[in-house]
Structure 1
């Protein structure tokens, strides 16, 4: 092969290991490990066949066999599997007698196509069957499950080991772990009169414990707090607190006021105020959105509350419902929650510890949403590409996305390119958390070997769930600048046919799949013949140090050049119908900038990488205060005019009427009195909303008028 050290080319080609055969290790005989156990628990809990077991079954798998790793798990003549269900306990469940057990067996048959009465004890060698037998045995003998691990151990001994048994592991060893996710999480807190100050203080303690289990930061989990009672108050926005200590300070400053239970108003404030990009929320493709509702009773109006919850879910917000105490309305909690397994009922405000595990796991497992514009009536649409860049902050990064269903018949192409990283991806239409134990699609990308997957847009209306696990690679032969990352590009539409040639001893020939799979293509030129003779290498050391990695193609604007950090140049082909835009480092125009704009071509560009990553997207335009600078997601700076007779206010990050001084009514005294909303004197259709740090924003009522008496927008 002719060596081509001066150039390498990356094209839209399946150049990495890809599996399209479904894998389910939960139904594989003698499969073991924590991933298998967690997949079993997730799959069963998702169907809500059994009451909330408060981690009992997950803990039991570890205590019985260390998730199957114990050498005695699969001993001769014993078929109880990972959960070590004895033959007598199994036979008792197989009868499916009693109302509760008969109903559970019926649901198992409906949801999993398993007729439990026709199973055999030997089937429990498969983890999924062993897990089902453990659930059935538990709830056959124990209707309620205590929360404390020590109390759960007593139940375990009574139900599964009534005779003397020397346990070598403890239920308390399965505990919560820190989460390095990047979700936007809003806690919506009921401060109605029935809660009381003492219980509200317990909620604050619970929030502090929960925050301690999350990695808080601009690029990790971000937290916001909203209260509802006598009035609805946004205590803090998602971009207000950038560390765990700051969030804990906000929690300690939460004040209790009492009042009614207008749950719908609280949800509406979260949707229309907190989860908006103008107030600091990330786009749904960049971070999942989670709303955690904590309440002790029924809402003031069930119909309005359920409608508000449905509106929230339509905005890609996942709702976790938490009811505390004896006065809750379970049906209402279920109507609000995204799924049945996201409803939690706790006996008292002292019973939060086990819920912390579930919430932490939900935050870690939550997925960002990728949504395309709807197709036309024929199921076809113009090509559209959505990109997502993931930086690996530690040695490992986990996460995922949900590819929302649409009416396209064309499918989607998923491309993953890695830099100084190995990325493993798992996909499923049936399992929300696909992993190495359970998936329908999988692939592995590494440097120079991208994943290219062509997938269905949906399966019977169900979305495609994608999970990824990215690991840093420290290579001595590659300059990584201590950075590891990967880019996921999802293109709506059919995959393109690309003519690819290989340069072998000076002669061009068609590249074969063997060239790609064996990775020999990295030492060849694979491109169109017309590209070979015209492309020079723009990837000089100076440009690499300056991180200038993108360049226009010299004679074809449907392509562009990209450098890797080793100095090789790649030819990237834009999707059909899109063209490279210099300065945006991308094909097409992905921006929400107004039409009346022009690029800032001179002066200092405030749209630095740090500013964009911190979502600081608006700056004053020094040359004319009737304009402002808006950043795009690629760091481009755009000059945007204010409306007529308005000037830019950097303090408010918005345009305001000229020659009008807006004095801040947001004082410590007002905050202590619970006053966060005030009239906006220049315009009755707007109002002032105070933030927790006494700064404020001006918000619009639309066509309605702000009423200072009820602190709300009313028809004019």
Structure 2
């Protein structure tokens, strides 16, 4: 009887302290996998490799136009091995022709190093896997862009012509443009962030170009309308002019109109002083009451050189994006703004290219994760297919994530390595209350501050979480607590039960004997 009681005790303690197992999910390598999240994961992987030039978002649009992200019924029909990107046999063979395209030798070497893929050993049937289909499509675009000197345009209408001329001669121009602007292809993120937008207003920008810049600002602000984002707008030249601050009471409609107003958003027409604008936004963030955990973002749009001010913004937890327009922009100086993060630097040939660029900036700024403090409960709302991203520190005892839905339905995923996990790529799914364990193999750096502000000498593990709205309107809360705190509370409660059971067993045993 004593042995039985001890077995029960050990079992209960195991249940209390046993962390949730994680199993890596990577649908990009699954035959016939499809969907927007799969395409997003493929593109993120290719972008991180940094072996291809900026594709101007055309790879995503081709996937949408060709097969609706693989969800079109014709995508995987018999003998159709082109995959999500519908790569033809002729184009697949082009990517293996190093004699005609010497540029491929270096790319094949990089691909072998990064992903252990021996290119010439591939079979076209491998393109049923989304990653291979996307990789081949990206090589085809690179051959067209570099080897044949046909640069990828920015505007969707021009990309439709490029796609038809160099990728799919039988493709329909209106169909490409419709797909590229549809919600299914470029879904809007209403956002939960604070953003300070800085627009260059110097004399080097002509009257027409500054008008185009105002229209872009209006559209960018409109992309956040209806959400919980806060935005400030400043224009700068030798001086800085504030159009509206972060904590304004203006409606989003009023903000859009203010961006177009020549008095509220004036063309200052003097020298460029980007450093002053960045300092102005930093001071605004410091003086405006913040929402704990919500990302702080600086966005600079300029046509001229900049000063070295990036460390100022990064040092106070501000994520910076830089958009350079025209031939006078120097890449190294844009990188100073983004703290040398190449993924957050964009270059456009002219101000006309700004017309549709707001969609990409909306998506990229929304993908910056929130960093809630441990024990804080975050309440939020999502529309269908909208996503929200979080980042938590994981100490040695693990972290306990609790997500509760008060309206609608949500799905949630976590990853140690993917900053924006999804149903396609993740280390696990979060359902109600989930314990995420600590893994030393996934440490990011040593002796850093965690979200609660406490210092630790242990290597830091971070976990990234994505919450997705599954119904038309979804309300939820999310909270992260240390696993040990919860485990101890549960253990104390269970121990009382165990002691009661143990006492009962002893009593029964004494009666029987």
**Alignment RMSD (CA, Å):** 3.4
**Which consecutive residues of structure 2, in runs of 5 or more, have no partner in the other structure?**
1-14, 446-460, 503-513
User: Which runs of structure 1 show a deviation greater than 6 angstroms over 4 or more consecutive aligned residues?
Assistant: 13-17, 492-495
2:272 alignment partner in structure 1: 261
Between structure 1 and structure 2, the one with the greater Rg is 1
2:155 alignment partner in structure 1: 148
For residues 354 and 104 of structure 1, do their structure 2 counterparts lie closer, same or farther at Cα, with a shift above 3 Å needed? Answer: farther
1:459 alignment partner in structure 2: 443
2:255 alignment partner in structure 1: 247
**SS at structure 2 position matched to 1:146:** coil
Q: Deviations over 1:205-241 (max 9, x none)?
A: 1100112221256xx1111023332123444321114
Q: Is the 8 A contact 2:28 2:38 kept in 1?
A: yes
2:12 alignment partner in structure 1: none
TM-superposed CA distance for 1:295, in Å, is 0.3
Q: 1:281 aligns with which of 281, 290, 293?
A: 290
Matched, 1:66 2:73: no
1:47 alignment partner in structure 2: 49
TM-superposed CA distance for 1:177, in Å, is 3.7
For residues 109 and 454 of structure 1, do their structure 2 counterparts lie closer, same or farther at Cα, with a shift above 3 Å needed? Answer: same
Q: Is the 8 A contact 2:402 2:434 kept in 1?
A: yes
Q: Deviations over 1:271-299 (max 9, x none)?
A: 2x1212x423333x1x1122111000112
**Which consecutive residues of structure 1, in runs of 5 or more, have no partner in the other structure?**
1-12, 372-384, 475-482, 511-716
2:110 alignment partner in structure 1: 107
**SS at structure 1 position matched to 2:304:** coil
For residues 267 and 109 of structure 1, do their structure 2 counterparts lie closer, same or farther at Cα, with a shift above 3 Å needed? Answer: farther
Cα separation, 2, equivalents of 1:130 and 1:336? 35
Matched, 1:349 2:351: yes
Q: 1:187 aligns with which of 186, 193, 197?
A: 197
For residues 235 and 402 of structure 1, do their structure 2 counterparts lie closer, same or farther at Cα, with a shift above 3 Å needed? Answer: same
Q: 1:170 aligns with which of 156, 176, 182?
A: 176
1:129 alignment partner in structure 2: 132
1:436 alignment partner in structure 2: 423
Cα separation, 1, equivalents of 2:348 and 2:234? 21
Give the TM-score taking structure 2 as reference length. Answer: 0.79
TM-superposed CA distance for 1:145, in Å, is 0.9
Q: Deviations over 1:497-542 (max 9, x none)?
A: 41444999xx9659xxxxxxxxxxxxxxxxxxxxxxxxxxxxxxxx
Q: Is the 8 A contact 1:222 1:242 kept in 2?
A: no
For residues 430 and 489 of structure 1, do their structure 2 counterparts lie closer, same or farther at Cα, with a shift above 3 Å needed? Answer: closer
1:485 alignment partner in structure 2: 476
Cα separation, 1, equivalents of 2:172 and 2:387? 37
Cα separation, 2, equivalents of 1:393 and 1:156? 34
**SS at structure 2 position matched to 1:435:** coil
TM-superposed CA distance for 1:19, in Å, is 5.7
Query: Whose RCO is larger (CA < 8 A, sep 6+)?
Result: 2
Cα separation, 2, equivalents of 1:117 and 1:493? 51
For residues 488 and 79 of structure 1, do their structure 2 counterparts lie closer, same or farther at Cα, with a shift above 3 Å needed? Answer: same
Matched, 1:401 2:390: yes
Q: Is the 8 A contact 2:201 2:269 kept in 1?
A: yes
1:426 alignment partner in structure 2: 413
1:316 alignment partner in structure 2: 317
**SS at structure 1 position matched to 2:437:** strand
TM-superposed CA distance for 1:24, in Å, is 0.4
**SS at structure 2 position matched to 1:344:** strand
Cα separation, 2, equivalents of 1:14 and 1:199? 63
Q: 2:305 aligns with which of 292, 298, 304?
A: 298
Q: Deviations over 1:53-86 (max 9, x none)?
A: 2221111112222211222222333321111112
Q: 1:214 aligns with which of 224, 229, 232?
A: 224
For residues 80 and 485 of structure 1, do their structure 2 counterparts lie closer, same or farther at Cα, with a shift above 3 Å needed? Answer: closer
2:244 alignment partner in structure 1: 236
TM-superposed CA distance for 1:135, in Å, is 0.7
User: In the TM superposition, what are the counterparts of 1:314-713 in structure 2 within 5 Å?
Assistant: 314-337=315-338, 339-370=341-372, 385-392=374-381, 398-403=387-392, 410-420=396-406, 422-445=409-432, 450-456=433-439, 459-461=443-445, 463-469=462-468, 484-491=475-482, 496-497=487-488, 498-501=491-494, 509=501
Cα separation, 2, equivalents of 1:341 and 1:59? 19
For residues 226 and 28 of structure 1, do their structure 2 counterparts lie closer, same or farther at Cα, with a shift above 3 Å needed? Answer: same
TM-superposed CA distance for 1:30, in Å, is 0.8
**SS at structure 1 position matched to 2:189:** coil
Cα separation, 1, equivalents of 2:327 and 2:346? 13
Cα separation, 2, equivalents of 1:418 and 1:57? 36
**SS at structure 2 position matched to 1:350:** helix
Cα separation, 1, equivalents of 2:112 and 2:370? 32
Q: Is the 8 A contact 2:39 2:69 kept in 1?
A: yes
**SS at structure 2 position matched to 1:368:** coil
Q: Is the 8 A contact 1:15 1:451 kept in 2?
A: no
For residues 134 and 223 of structure 1, do their structure 2 counterparts lie closer, same or farther at Cα, with a shift above 3 Å needed? Answer: same
Cα separation, 1, equivalents of 2:412 and 2:255? 33
Q: Deviations over 1:363-413 (max 9, x none)?
A: 332211247xxxxxxxxxxxxx341312336577631112358xx6x2541
For residues 103 and 236 of structure 1, do their structure 2 counterparts lie closer, same or farther at Cα, with a shift above 3 Å needed? Answer: farther
Cα separation, 2, equivalents of 1:490 and 1:351? 45
